[in-house]
Structure 1
Amino acid sequence: MFKYLNKDLPASVVVFFVALPLCLGIALASGAPLFSGLIAGIVGGIVVGSLSGSSLGVSGPAAGLAVIVLSAIASLGKYEYFLVAVVIGGALQILLGLLKAGVIGYYFPSSVIKGMLAGIGIIIFLKQFSVAFGLSDDYEFFHYNIGTMLNNIVIAWENLSFGTLAITIISIGIMIFWSSVLEKKHQIFKIIPGPLVAVLVGVFYKLFIDDSSLLGISDSNLVSVPVPDNLSDFLNQFTFPDFSIITSTEVWVVGFTIAVVASLETLLSVEATDKLDPRKRVTPTNRELLAQGTGNMLSGFIGGLPITQVIVRSSANIQSGGRTKMSAILHAIWLLLAVVFIPDLLNLIPLAVLAGVLFIVGFKLAKPSLFVSMFKLGKKQYLPFIVTVLGIVLSDLLTGIGLGLLVGLTIVLINSFKNSHFLHTKEDEKGEDKFIKMTLAEEVTFFNKGAILNSLNNIEPNTNLEIDIRKSQFLDYDILEILQDFAIKAKNNNIEITIISDLGEFKNPSSYSKFFNINSEY
């Protein structure tokens, strides 16, 4: 890991500057103590980075889990109870790794995953308006009732802090200008991340603008991490889980949700990071689940947020020239040193800057071009996507994912129903004898019973029916029963049946089940 330190060291500094505002911002979006985001970033880098088989992946608190954390803390009633769910989630991830469940991510449709991220992005985006206006975290800026929402907006405007709104707009403007203009001008602007510049501008704004002026920012609208006087004070900052709730069904549901969503986000990030890796190294997914589970258990034990591998930090690591996992480990060491030695400086960061960072994060997760591209892919992709988005925004994460999966499964069943067989009808030259050829699909299951039965029932008397099974690798027994029942009807209606297989043609076999059992390859 020390062989490429000349490349990993500068890359780790860039990742640190990207991670610092994100750790604080995601904790803010999660309704958790800001220090918890830093803990997750430190554990994600040092512990997960050391145990993981990923060379370039960087782990820490993820925006995709912010909505789950926010609702879970509220429903469980205490942050210490929520930490129990984080520990449970980590233990379940370790179990998934031991059960070789690293392929689990491949069984979720990409449309549902994209819908999940887009829905989370919308919620993160909407949640930042109260911070941008300088209101309390629990202020309901948006409401499903239009009248209530308009009233809330009027109240928000009356209590508006012009200073926080100004620095939010300035921060967003800096990050957009930095990424869309300056990064294209010179390599130095790619090395120095825009969010860090926004943070520094926010700190200088706080230092030089009088709090009592119209554009001032009050201390209540600043980052607030504890400032330790000594090692003992530093250790007292950590929060520990209250395991008295361990028998509660609700905390286990939250833990299971964290395990599933964190694992999915991690596996998707792993896949994306491996594709971006110039050396095309492949991350062992089961080992990654074990590493993430260990990190989440430790993070939960000492008061941190849930952890996943994060594509934003991972891609920053790759773009900065990182070569080994040492860059991820080092970035966490810089986070730890910042918490220990410069907490006063961190406490000068306006929350509005973090809101600006999260506005950008939320927009990137749910950018309009994503909705357009999904719509262009057709209803088979767009319907599960939009149902997932609406379910998450209007209800909760699990409901949205469940509805999206249900719609996706329904579409698969409908397609399976339609594609079970192909019918071709023709008549002889005199128009006296009618021929129908039914070609069965490669796999025909009980899902296809209705479609096949409907086609057979519509065959008219005095017809020659050919059933071509040369492409079929699997025929469900339910289909054989349908064919057997139809054979009886065929005799009564003067329908001659011919089975076409690789072994030859068989006219009116007396027993379909006997025929298919003898020719077991079918």
Structure 2
Amino acid sequence: MTKKNKFQSFVSELPQNLFSGFVVSLIALPLGLGLALASGAPPISGIIAAIIGGSVVALIGGSQVTITGPGNGLVVVILGAITTLGAGDMQQGFLYTLAAIVLSGAIMVILGFLRMGSLGDFFPASAIQGMLAAIGIGIFAKQFHVMLGNTNAKGSIIELMLQVPEGIINYTTTNSASVFWAGMIGIISLLIMVFYSKIRNKYFQLIPAPMWIVVLCIGLYYYFDFFSASEYPIAKSLLINLPDDVLASFAFPDFGKVNDLEFISAVISITLIASIESLLSIKAVDKLDPLKRRSNINKDIRALGFATIISGFLGGLNVVTVIARSSVNVNNNGSNRSANFFHASFLVVFILLFATELRKIPLSALAAILVYTGYKLASPENIQKVFKIGKEQLAIFLITLFTTIATNLITGIAVGILATFVAHVIISKDIFLFITNLFKPNVLMFKEDGKYYVSVKNFSSFLNYTKLKTKLDQIPESCDAIIDFSLSDFVDHSVLENLNDYAESFKRKGGFFEIVGLDNHNAGSEHPFALRKNAGFHIPSPTTTTINLTKRQKALQNVAKELHWEYEPNRNVESLIELPDFGYFKTKKIKKVSNILSNDRCELFDVVFHEGELFAKQIVKTTMLYIDIEAPIPAFTLDKEGIFEYIYHFAGFKDINIDEHPDFSKRFYLSGKDTEAIKNLFSNELILFFESNQYYHIEANNHGLLIIGRERLAGIKEIKALVDYGTRLRPLLCNQYETVAPLL
């Protein structure tokens, strides 16, 4: 029955996916041509990649709403490979590069079968941003000159960027009408890309910006052809060059350099960038999916690999998952993989039926689309965002960016990873923290009361994030999960950014995802993803005007407002005089008290204490509630019947049985010196309360009542439950005062 419903749903959604595929194809057509030209490859190679990618990945992929085809990130790599392997002969270099593309596809297939999709999480976030910015600058540097009608500009990325002012001057002083008109179309196309989103006409927005450029370019050609006395002013060499017979013009890879070091380097570079771009895009598109489905990344990597192999053998570029076209698919109600297939089908129609019209598009128009794309990858806003996270993140970003520009992508990302590690060592001031604990199991997960609890020890960074991710992926997103970093001395930006993705995913599926244990960690900035370093037991000075509160602390502030209680992030241990008087703390040394929620009679707080000394010393962090009863009730201890029974018996305590409530006596361990007073205190109403609510460890003395959950920090939901428990328990105990007082 389920299969039938799925099939019916698939069929009913075909019209909307057909339309979405058509809209995406309008963008994919000029982008595919432009990306191929920017890569130094024949224009048709970009379209081949989009057609093969859309068809193959739609059939065997693991994502629902992603669109596949040639990607921005590979432009610099493919261009470098063609130039290097061809040694000046671009056509032969392209054939060698096709062989490298085929092998990169085979490697991606292997990585998919080895379930290595998680390797994308190994790369630090700021290093990846720096690499993408370098790719954007590389695209901008090359295509800016083409946009102004100069297709002969050559040199490295740095040289091409330095030539930009000269290129502008040369364009404004050119005597060539062909170059002038080509540059004018390029500038107008760039303006369309920039101002397209600012035009709010619904009919104008029906056609994507790149397709408007195509329509206007072809329209201009026909204007000169039919209405103007002058000839079309742009030379044929500045127009797109498509083969006369598309079906008979496939290029085939040349494996003649398969043993050369340059060829191997090209394969590694292509595989690395294709994998990273796809993994990042898949992760981003999953956030956009209205149905909140999570992609099977390993299955998708295999599908992309197979598609790349086929594309390479037919003369096409690499096939990757692309975020921009996927976003358009989602925005146009694309709901399953058929949209990707339809987008490929429409591209086939365009190439077979409208090849003549496509040859009328100036190269400068396509270059303008890529100049805008390059700018978006390396925009100042991206740099500003990285800086807000932390100064060290900006340093990592810039080191990766400049190294990539000066050398190549592999060296750039490698240096970025090294820079991230060095930054972490400098900030933590403890290289042994990372070296000695890198290969140790640092993640413990267990389930209690229907909640999943994950404790992270030592450190959590891009180096060992896959261990944490493996555990998190086992938790159903409809459940509650608490991630505790209280035993972790260092948590980096990449981990916190990834955990935010989990939090959003859990929220969409009806679950609850909370991070605790970072309240005692110093942050490099106020950004929620700033890396965190354990501050030990340091308590901020009372004169401190600003405190960088964690997400949990801000949530506690909101809880305090809801309850009309007060919230205090930190407090001196000496102010909690009553705690050491409880038996629970007789053998424990309190080190820190923080996150205090209080009213006149109740205080909830996190407390850090240690048991034992020297090598047997153990640090414990937990959340508890103290209640002032205003009455000298008898001292007692109440706990769940079990192992504590034997411990208390060994220590000389005796279990007090309430004869009228044998079930209560079986389920709870009750002890204290004044047996009669305790029995009188435990009225029918009080016993019913304990039997009907959650188990807590409870201790009472002459000062008040201490309620303790488990020996770990509590999440927000657990804190609310503890407060509710205590505020309902306090009146019951106070009502017993008149009955108990004469016996004391």
Residues 217-241 of structure 1, C-alpha deviation per residue, up to 9 Å, x if partnerless?
111111111122xxxxx43210000
The alignment of Structure 1 onto Structure 2 pairs a total of residues equal to: 433
Deviation at 1:419, TM superposition (A): 9.5
DSSP-derived class of the 2:284 partner: helix
Pair 75,213 (structure 1): closer, same or farther in 2 beyond 3 Å:
farther
The range that moved more, 17-26 or 212-221, is 212-221
Check 1:6–1:155 CA distance in 2 against 1; reply closer, same or farther (3 A cut). closer
Question: Which residue of the partner structure matches residue 134 of structure 2?
Answer: 119
- The structure 1 residue matched to 2:243, chosen from 207, 215, 226, is 226
State the partner residue of 2:275. 263
1:512: which partner in 2? none
User: Which one of 33, 44, 50 corresponds to residue 53 of structure 2?
Assistant: 44
Write the deviation string for residues 138-177 of structure 1: whole angstroms up to 9, x where unpaired.
5459764999887776666546611011101111222222
Which residue in 2 is equivalent to 1:505? 613
* Number of the residue aligned with 1:346: 358
Q: CA deviation at 1:388?
A: 1.3
Residue 249 of structure 1 is matched in structure 2 by 261
Aligned to 2:709: none
Please report the TM-score for the alignment, with normalisation by the length of structure 2: 0.55
SS of 1:309's equivalent in the other structure is: strand
Q: Which residue of 2 aligns with 1:386?
A: 398
The change in CA–CA distance for 1:162 and 1:276 in structure 2 (over 3 A counts) is same
Matched, 1:108 2:123: yes
Q: Distance in 1 between matches of 2:231 and 2:361?
A: 19
The match for 1:370 is 382
2:81 counterpart of 1:66: no
Q: 1:442 to 1:150 in 2, by over 3 A?
A: closer
8 Å CA contact 1:267, 1:285 repeated in 2: yes
Offset, 1:504: 2.3
In the alignment, does 2:28 pair up with 1:19?
A: yes
Q: Which moved more, 1:14-23 or 1:404-413?
A: 404-413
Contact 2:158/2:406 (CA < 8 Å) preserved in 1? no
**Structure 1 position 100, deviation (Å):** 0.8
* 2:224–2:231 Cα contact (<8 Å) kept: no
CA contact (8 A) 1:88 1:256 kept: no
Q: Quick check: which one's strand share is greater?
A: 2
**Displacement after TM superposition at 1:251 (Å):** 1.4
Closer/same/farther in 2, CA of residues 274 and 159 from structure 1, 3 Å limit: farther
2: CA distance, partners of 1:10 / 1:444: 49
1:487-510 CA-to-partner distances (Å, cap 9, x unmatched) read xxxxxxxxxxxx99966235999x
Residue identity in the other structure for 1:235: L
In 2 relative to 1, CA 243–146 (structure 1 residues): closer, same or farther, beyond 3 Å? closer
Say which of 186, 195, 206 aligns to 1:168: 186
Letter in 1 for 2:233: G
Distance 1:108 1:207 in 2: 50
Q: Residue 291 of structure 2: SS of its match in structure 1?
A: coil
TM-aligned CA deviation for residue 417 of structure 1 = 2.6
Q: Point out where structure 2 has 5 or more consecutive residues left out of the alignment.
A: 1-9, 87-92, 434-455, 461-485, 490-587, 590-608, 618-744
Q: Summarize deviations over 1:229-275 as a string: whole Å, max 9, x none.
A: xxxxx432100001222222321221121111111111110010000
TM-score (norm 1): 0.77
Residue 47 of structure 2 is aligned to residue 35 of structure 1:
no
CA shift at 1:207, angstroms? 2.6
State the partner residue of 2:302.
Answer: 290
- The within-5 A match list for 1:316-465 is 316-418=328-430, 442-443=457-458
* CA distance, structure 1, for counterparts of residue 248 and residue 276 of structure 2: 33
CA deviation string 1:53-85 (max 9, x = no partner)? 111000100011000000100010021111110
Matched residue type, 2:243: P
Q: CA shift at 1:373, angstroms? A: 1.6
Q: 1:42 offset after TM fit, Å? A: 0.5
Alignment of 1:187-226 (within 5 A): 188-209=203-224, 216-226=233-243
CA contact (8 A) 1:40 1:304 kept: yes
In structure 2, give the amino acid aligned to 1:331: H
CA shift for structure 1 position 206: 2.4
Higher relative contact order (CA 8 A, sep 6+): 1
Q: Residue 313 in 1 paired to residue 331 in 2?
A: no
Contact 2:400 2:416 in 1 (8 A): yes
Amino acid at match of 1:102: G
Aligned residue for 1:262, secondary structure, equals helix
Counterpart of 2:65 in structure 1 is 56
Q: Which runs of 5+ in 1 are unaligned?
A: 229-233, 422-440, 446-470, 475-498, 510-522
